[in-house]
Amino acid sequence: MRSGLSYSLAGVFKILRGLGRDRGGNVAIVVALTLVPMIVAVGASFDYIRTYNVRQRMQSDLDTALIAAVKEIDTDDADALKQKVADWFHAQVENSYTLGDIDIDTSNHKITATASGTVPTTLMKIANIDTVDVSVASAVKGPATSYLNVYIVIDTSPSMLLAATTAGQSTMYAGIGCQFACHTGDAHTVGKTTYTNNYEYSTAKNIKLRADVAGDAVRDVLDMIDDSDSNHQRIKVGLYSLGDTLTEVLTPTLSTDTARNRLADASYGLTSATSKAATYFDVSLATLKQKVGTGGDGTSSGSPLKLVLLLTDGVQSQREWVTDKVTWNKNGKPTYGAYWNKVAPLNPDWCAYVKNQSATMAVLYTEYLPITSDWGYNATVGSTMASASWKSTYGGTMQSGVSTSITRRDYIPYALSDCASSKSLFLSASSSTEITAGLSALFTQYLASVRLTQ
């Protein structure tokens, strides 16, 4: 930009010098009369660009200062916050501008501020214009300082009974030939001990399941809520189990202790001690829509922001869809079952039930384990999206550029990322450590998404 301006100025002066040497007619007089205005005009454009760039930097510096300050609006008084805004601002800026008025509005969880300054001119000094005044204004508020309802939805389908670690999966498979601690199924005799079902074996061996890890992840979020709202005045939390339908375990409450108690009590159905027989996202998310309602602007307890944290493996499924009407050929292999096409990723359009009500959806994908040695897996989740007839079965539309030959299991993250309100609010986790950390990471990401409002 500057090199271009320098070239233009040089060209103008060259022309002016040529005109100044021309003694014919009234050219010299015209040049004398127009020289200063022309220089001022060219200089004004140059100074305007410099002023514009300074203003842009000033706006960025002010926005940065307010975003940093808004996260502490509940922990400091107005004077302390004003000082913090000033400190953050001056840590960023040049000496060419200064901070103006700051207004702290704690009742609406909002900070507004202005910054002003002057930019020294160059060629405009010929017209006795030494400086140009500039000013910017910014206002910020966000989820970290607003009233907020958090709806934690936990997939409680049998697939969440997968052993959470590789070691646990190996122990399960070595003992009973299955990595899942299902509550239904055949009894097993290992050594001299008989176990009624897979879950009983996993309990005896102290094997942690993904359902248990999900509980750990939720407890971490509850700890974060305690830190974010230490007085328990702004953030409510509700608990829900997702299976063949949605069950409200806890209506949104300010008491995180109540949430912890419900989470640990097996009678409420959020532990590994129980599971749902099927996962119907179309039914469950439609019910969740009624529970969540319309999101507000966060300025009052009656108009809270609303965040859904969904922890799931993303598969629309029912055990009978795999086993019903399966026939076996003479080689002992199953033929095509009547409902195998139904076992497929959820349709992201079902998530719109919630998102269309001004609520935010964050999704943690607990990666579905590929079990290529199992005929049921290979015939359903391990089979292609084309064989699922996803559009005709569930109305799903695949992302452009993704081949229908992709397995249903491999398409799950595509579907769940479309389910989330934004790509930044989708995470995939495979290990128990990643699952535990993932839900907290999503909550942190949401709290950090402060909104510049001016």
- Reported pTM: 0.76
CA separation for the pair 64, 67 (Å, rounded): 5
For residue 358, how many other CB atoms are within 10 A of its CB? 14
344, pLDDT greater than 60? yes
pLDDT at 7: 43
Region 53-75 average pLDDT: 77
Q: What is the pLDDT of residues 154-192, one digit of tens each?
A: 999 988 999 999 899 999 999 998 888 888 778 999 999
pLDDT at 2: 38
Burial per residue of 37-72, b for 16 or more beta-carbon CB atoms within 10 angstroms, e otherwise: eebbebbbebbeebbeebbebbbebbbebbbbbbbe
140, pLDDT greater than 70? yes
Q: Pairing between strand 110-120 and 97-105?
A: antiparallel
Q: What is the pLDDT of residues 371-428, one digit of tens each?
A: 888 888 888 999 999 999 999 999 999 999 999 999 999 999 999 999 999 999 999 9
DSSP single-letter state for residue 130: -
Instruction: For the chain, state the CA radius of gyration.
Output: 32
One-letter amino acid of 229? D
Question: HSE on the CB side for 96, CA within 13 Å?
Answer: 20
CA separation for the pair 171, 177 (Å, rounded): 9
Q: What is the pLDDT of residues 145-154, one digit of tens each?
A: 789 999 999 9
pLDDT at 34: 55
Region 214-242 average pLDDT: 95
4, pLDDT greater than 50? no
Name the percent of the chain lying above pLDDT 90. Answer: 50
The sign of the CA dihedral 211, 217, 222, 223 is: positive
C-alpha angle 258/264/269, rounded to 5°?
Answer: 100
pLDDT at 375: 84
More confident residue, 359 or 52: 359
More confident residue, 12 or 243: 243
Q: What is the pLDDT of residues 110-139, one digit of tens each?
A: 788 888 877 887 766 776 777 888 888 888
Question: Roughly how many angstroms between the first and final C-alpha of the chain, as a whole number?
Answer: 29
C-alpha angle 324/172/191, rounded to 5°?
Answer: 105
Q: What is the pLDDT of residues 233-249, one digit of tens each?
A: 999 999 999 999 999 99
Name all domains of the chain by residue range, CATH numbers in brackets: 2-141 (no CATH), 148-162+209-452 (3.40.50.410)
Q: What is the pLDDT of residues 80-113, one digit of tens each?
A: 878 888 887 777 666 666 677 777 766 666 788 8
